[in-house]
Amino acid sequence: MRLYLVTIMLFIICPSAANADETCKTINAYSANWRGISEFGDSMPLQGVAIDAVKKLLTHQDLPYTIKPRKNWPRLLAALKRGEIDMIGGIYKTTDRLKDISFIGPIHRVPVHIYTTKGNAEFIKTKEDLTGKVTIMSTHSSFGEEIEAYLAEKTTVLKISSYDFHITKMLARGRIDFFVGTQLNSLNDIKVAGLEGKIIELEEPIGFNDVYLGLSKKSPCYDHIVNISIYPVVE
């Protein structure tokens, strides 16, 4: 009888497929192209710290899982909110996103840098010099609430609904005074636009952001993933 009770207790507390919703058969994780965090290419497999974290989280549990790349970030984020996919590898936490997404982690921390033209660099040297200047952000993007609050207070932030716009060219043409971004993505965008030497990165970051795994609150695998998580879960 004692052995029987111990067996029952282990079955209840051990994270396994038995704890999952009966409709949870496979955990589907996706990730956008974010250099150093979750990047991929024609000859490059999906890789980065977020991908490593997803694998570390899901390897030692009973359900099969997939990790796939997807290029369109707005559609990927919308699919996560609707519960069409279970997880995203690599996302910032915001109050608005918490309505539909729980955040696992943080798994990484990144600096967010300021970029301006070489001509503007005489007047913009630190984040304090951004006061009264103009920048632009996509409504689909986030650089964290602390940074966005600072920009909203000190600068004029233009909003654009498109995600795929050439922010580097807008800066080079003088439509904005600066933009903010993560280093590897921004430097690559500057290189692709042929603007190396014309757009520069300020030495001092505007701030730092924690990177999380995003878990859809509508996922049939939600409880299972929370139960087996080796990272903190912000719900």
Domain boundaries defined on the chain: 18-108+210-234, 111-209
Domain 18-108+210-234 falls under CATH 3.40.190.10: yes
Residue reference for tokens 């005489």 = 122
Dump pLDDT digits (tens) for 66-123.
999 988 888 999 999 999 999 999 999 999 999 999 999 999 999 999 999 999 999 9
The reported pLDDT for the residue numbered 106 is 97
Taking the alpha carbons of 194, 199, 202, 208 in that order, is the dihedral positive or negative?
negative
Dump pLDDT digits (tens) for 198-212.
999 999 999 999 999
DSSP code of residue 32: -
pTM (two decimals): 0.84
Mean pLDDT value across the chain: 88
Dump pLDDT digits (tens) for 216-233.
999 999 999 999 999 999
Q: Which fold has domain 111-209?
A: D-Maltodextrin-Binding Protein; domain 2 (3.40.190)
Residue type, 86: D
| Tokens encoding 160 | 């654009």
Whether residue 205 has a cis bond before it, omega within 30° of 0: no
**Residue 4, helix vs strand vs coil:** helix
Domains 18-108+210-234 and 111-209 agree in fold? yes
Can you tell me the distance from the alpha carbon of 7 to that of 90, in angstroms, rounded to the nearest whole number?
Answer: 38
The reported pLDDT for the residue numbered 43 is 79
Tell me the Cα Rg of the chain: 21
Do 49 and 211 form a contact (C-beta atoms < 8 A)?
yes
The CA–CA distances, whole Å, from 166 to 138, 172, 186 equal 11, 10, 11
| Tokens encoding 45 | 């497999």
Do 123 and 177 form a contact (C-beta atoms < 8 A)?
no
Mean of the pLDDT values across residues 123-152?
92
